[in-house]
Structure 1
Amino acid sequence: MGDYKTTWREKIGYGVGAIGLDLSYGLFYSYLSYYLSSVLGLKEAFLLILTPLARIWDGINDPIMGTIVDSTKTKMGKYRPWILIGTASNAIVLFLLFTSFGMSGTRLYVYIGFMYVLWGMTNTMADIPYWSMVPSFTNDPKDRNLVATVARTFSGFGQGVITVMTPIVLPYLSSGMEKTEDGYSASGFSRWALICGILLVTFAVICVSSTKERHVVYNTEKFSFKKMFKVIGTNDQLVVFMLFAMISNAGWYLTSGTAVYYFTDVLGQSTAQSLFSIIGAIGSVLGLLVIPVLSKKFTNRTIYQISLIMAIAGYALMYLFGPVLNITIALDISYILASIGIGSMFVAQTVFLADIVDYGEYKNGKRYESITFSMKGFLQKMAYTIQTIFLFGGLGIMNYNEQILGGTINEATKTAIGIICFGIPPVLMIISLIIFSTKFKLYGDLKQKVHDYIADKRTKESAEKTAENQ
């Protein structure tokens, strides 16, 4: 079997699916914290406890889901059925999570806790099969880069819709006396979540109908935690990837999750977040577009290092022009540089995972695509946990809820929000860059050996199937 290449119809159809996933993903990771703390008034301590507990369950649930996907065998393939099931389920839960039905007190805390965990489970049902499909499209490294770039481009667009449109749309969707000073309300979030859920399912249908799983390796082994830990533990590059990606992603999540607090509570200009997000979206698109160009001259390893260095430089400027000098327009412009780095960073991570799947098969003789790709979703959730600890830990220490109820945010809290949003992220990215540069070995001769092994193995498998059919 040769290095077949995907058509543009497949690339775009596949990418469209990422828009819907990131509408749900973006609303959850960028606005849920604000919705729960500032709109519903839940205590920071509750969220500090809930998030780590949910991650413990994700550590069990995500690999199980990966194994289930790996073992699925239908006429549609093993990935596409789960994309439909997962997105439909996640759309329903997204709406319910952002709809409180007038509850308060203990009932509200229990309800939110249950829906919070359920969102993670249903997101896993859709996210794992979606990103696991990348290796099934093509063996060609450059085509994989292009598929991943297209998907990440659409993914960035989905998140851009959330970050740009939410501050604009929410005041129009909100109603009643429960509006905050910025025009947000529980009803507005509920209606916006419903719209995002409908789009999530629509884009998933387009994705599934536009793609084909060309080469699928089915795994009939039953799930066991022993096997799961073996798959993870014996793939040293997967462990390294999880560490450096989790740390760098946590840096970006801190900004995306704290920006609403910065523009609303620190600057007092909630609508200014839309311009900030638009500029960031432009930077992300530029970062995605340069990947195919850079891949002609540089290895994925070098591209990733360049991406992180650009992000670190951008964040340093953002901290200078934001919390230190308070020059908002300069802060916005600096975000372009950081976003270019972040956008290309995410593409490179997706490509790394496809290579890590091949490396696992090269090293152990068996292929576990979905278990490996389930680690992507898990590390993202762990990155979000780091964000939650920094954000709600800081807000809790500053007694943020009491200040919101009192109608005034003091200067110490504003300073803390600025540091969390723009000061901590570059530190995390520097740590990630050091780990990546010293510990990730899947490049050069080793990567070529893995590619040759997989190509030869697929050719033999294709020849054997042809002989059996004759």
Structure 2
Amino acid sequence: MSKLKQSITYAFGAFGHDAFYAALTTYFITFVTSQLLETSNGGQVNTWLIGVITTLVVTIRIIEIFFDPFLGALVDNTHTRWGKFKPWIMGGAVISSIALVLIFSNFFGLTASHPMVYLVLFVIVFVIADFSYSVLDVAFWGLLPSLSLDSDSRASISSIARFGSTLGGTGVAVVLVPLNVWFSHVFAHTQGNEQTRAGWLGFAVVIAALSLIGALLTCWGTQEGKDDIRKNTQKTSFRDIFRIIGKNDQLMWTALAYLLFAFGFSTTNSMVVYYFRYVLGKPESYSLVGVVEAVLGILAVISFPTLQRLVTRKRVYLYSVAVEVVGYILFIFSGHSVVLALVATGICYVAQPLVFLVVLNTISDCVEYGQLKLGTRNESVTLTVRPLIDKLSGSFSTAIVSFAAVTAGMTGAATAADISNTGVAEFKGFMLYMPLVLIVISAIVFALKVTLTESKHDEIVKKLKARLEPETQASGDVSAAEPASDATASQTASVTTDSKSNAADESAEKNR
């Protein structure tokens, strides 16, 4: 299988994948607070329904998050002629695409005529949408470590994939208003820049189609690797899932650092659309945010493999957070300037893809780290931690955004002139100050606790190959219980010894 073909088709899948995620997490709540509950005279049914829907979304996501590791085990235990990832990628894409279109509707007017019936149907469809997307998410990113065992190769593949996901995620911001307005003209017969429920529904159809096409291309163009290290697997029982995750200390520290960062960034990112509409009074300028983020995000993604080789992953993370802090400070002092707000948004966003890639590659390397430490390989269970964190942070940020918008009066037909100075100040507190603190703490955790460097991972791969190849030559069968246990004991001892040399490895990595 051509490496270029794999990288490109995987990137197309990431494009549709992140466009879908942006629509589901960032823009669905905007749809709820702006157009979903509008009556024919432009009013709202009432704000309590906004609160109920927001609470349901957050609750469903938090509950569903605890099922993600089990989905990872389900994928790890899958064996088909198409591999273990593709059936779940394709199935999840089909179901989630249909469900996305449905939740961006008002179920034929039920929000006004029968709000309780609407809520029941909404819960059912949203659970289906979120669960099927989770299956797709776990399988899609779980595929990454199966494509290569080399850190540099993974960095290249993940960078190209992130190139696609950056275009997908930021492209939504570019096309949101134009698509909404165009579909509003076609189906609601509006004029000017008015946005309607019909416009949002058309937008959802486009995003669902992109997600489905991306999944098809990924399944067609990628191929799982076959080697002795990937054969070192056992059936993952549900009772072993949290042991696999919990005993992988590097996975847990990386997850904590990323949770703090993702919560802060997703909160700010979700509020930018409100900032342009209700603070700056320039909703039409929001499309420029997507353009700025796309251009800078692509440049950041392209530079990642080179930056990783020059300064190491850990420094890329820390430098990126430093850039992020500069962006937040500029945003705080941007006042009512659209230009400064765009510059601040761009600076904040240019760092995010780099942090994502550092975390994605570190967690991918945690697959081999956990394999050496625990004696068996678990790709999907390990990789499920990253999307789990994205959804957890997205759930928290959804609650924050909805609360801040309702509190400040940024709902329905309100304009910038209707928002008080106190409302703006409170909104900025949630949008800028709280996220800034979380992101700084994230950098501290990553700097002090994450020690799985690229050179450390290379050593782990060499040890795994040295131990597994003689076993494969002696017997084509990998033992089930006792040999794995013996291997676990010696491997755990090795990792314990290895961890003592982390400081030396870090020093060598910095001087490399």
Please confirm whether the aligned pair reaches a TM-score higher than 0.5, indicating the same fold: yes
SS of equivalent to 1:75? coil
In structure 2, the residue matched to 1:372 is 382
Q: Which residue, out of 381, 401, 404, partners 1:394?
A: 404
Cα 1:178/1:219, change in 2 over 3 Å: farther
Task: In structure 2, give the amino acid aligned to 1:103.
Answer: L
Shift of 1:353: 1.1
Q: Deviations over 1:17-58 (max 9, x none)?
A: 101111211111221111111212364432452244223322
Q: Deviations over 1:420-446 (max 9, x none)?
A: 333332222101111111121212764
Alignment partner of 1:244 is 2:257? yes
CA contact (8 A) 1:250 1:384 kept: yes
Q: Deviations over 1:357-415 (max 9, x none)?
A: 11111110111111111111111111112212322232344455588499933332233
Structure 2 distance, partners of 1:38, 1:380, is 24
In structure 2, the residue matched to 1:273 is 286
Q: Which residue, out of 103, 106, 109, partners 2:110?
A: 103
Cα 1:145/1:461, change in 2 over 3 Å: farther
Structure 2 distance, partners of 1:23, 1:466, is 44
Q: Which residue, out of 52, 66, 78, partners 1:46?
A: 52
Cα 1:165/1:464, change in 2 over 3 Å: farther
Shift of 1:71: 0.5
Structure 2 distance, partners of 1:396, 1:30, is 16
Q: Deviations over 1:186-221 (max 9, x none)?
A: 111111111211221112111111111013448553
Structure 1 distance, partners of 2:470, 2:367, is 19
Q: Which residue, out of 11, 16, 19, partners 1:15?
A: 11
Task: In structure 2, give the amino acid aligned to 1:201.
Answer: L
In structure 2, the residue matched to 1:354 is 364
Q: Deviations over 1:33-86 (max 9, x none)?
A: 111112123644324522442233223321121111001101111111211111
Alignment partner of 1:449 is 2:459? yes
Structure 2 distance, partners of 1:84, 1:402, is 37
In structure 2, the residue matched to 1:35 is 31
Alignment partner of 1:422 is 2:418? no
After TM superposition, the structure 1 stretch with the greater mean CA deviation from structure 2, 54-63 or 7-16, is: 54-63
Structure 2 distance, partners of 1:166, 1:402, is 17
RMSD: 2.7
Runs (5+) with no aligned partner, structure 1: none
Q: Which residue, out of 185, 188, 195, partners 2:196?
A: 185
Cα 1:281/1:416, change in 2 over 3 Å: farther
Q: Which residue, out of 66, 70, 83, partners 1:77?
A: 83
- Within 5 Å, which residues of 2 pair with 1:222-371? 223-224=237-238, 226-321=239-334, 325-371=335-381
SS of equivalent to 1:310? helix
After TM superposition, the structure 1 stretch with the greater mean CA deviation from structure 2, 412-421 or 326-335, is: 412-421
Task: In structure 1, give the amino acid aligned to 2:110.
Answer: M
Cα 1:14/1:401, change in 2 over 3 Å: closer
Task: In structure 1, give the amino acid aligned to 2:303.
Answer: V
SS of equivalent to 2:224? coil
In structure 2, the residue matched to 1:126 is 136
Structure 1 distance, partners of 2:242, 2:7, is 33
Q: Which residue, out of 61, 64, 71, partners 1:58?
A: 64
In structure 2, the residue matched to 1:221 is 235
In structure 2, the residue matched to 1:154 is 164
In structure 2, the residue matched to 1:91 is 97
Alignment partner of 1:24 is 2:20? yes
Structure 1 distance, partners of 2:250, 2:158, is 19
Structure 1 distance, partners of 2:269, 2:105, is 22
Q: How many residues align?
A: 460
Shift of 1:142: 0.5
Alignment partner of 1:136 is 2:143? no
Structure 1 distance, partners of 2:213, 2:268, is 29
After TM superposition, the structure 1 stretch with the greater mean CA deviation from structure 2, 161-170 or 443-452, is: 443-452
Task: In structure 2, give the amino acid aligned to 1:247.
Answer: L
CA contact (8 A) 1:87 1:200 kept: yes
Structure 1 distance, partners of 2:174, 2:330, is 22
Task: In structure 1, give the amino acid aligned to 2:152.
Answer: K
After TM superposition, the structure 1 stretch with the greater mean CA deviation from structure 2, 262-271 or 34-43, is: 34-43
CA contact (8 A) 1:262 1:421 kept: no
Cα 1:208/1:326, change in 2 over 3 Å: same
Q: Which residue, out of 111, 119, 122, partners 1:112?
A: 122
Please give the TM-score of this superposition, normalised by the length of structure 1.
Answer: 0.90
Shift of 1:180: 11
Structure 1 distance, partners of 2:260, 2:53, is 20
After TM superposition, the structure 1 stretch with the greater mean CA deviation from structure 2, 260-269 or 458-467, is: 458-467
Shift of 1:170: 0.6
In structure 2, the residue matched to 1:210 is 221
Structure 1 distance, partners of 2:378, 2:190, is 48
Shift of 1:308: 1.5
Cα 1:159/1:444, change in 2 over 3 Å: closer
Shift of 1:448: 4.2
Q: Which has the larger radius of gyration?
A: 2
CA contact (8 A) 1:67 1:223 kept: yes
Q: Which residue, out of 144, 163, 184, partners 2:173?
A: 163
CA contact (8 A) 1:145 1:351 kept: yes
Q: Which residue, out of 203, 207, 210, partners 1:199?
A: 210
In percent, how many aligned pairs have the same letter? 23
SS of equivalent to 2:452? coil
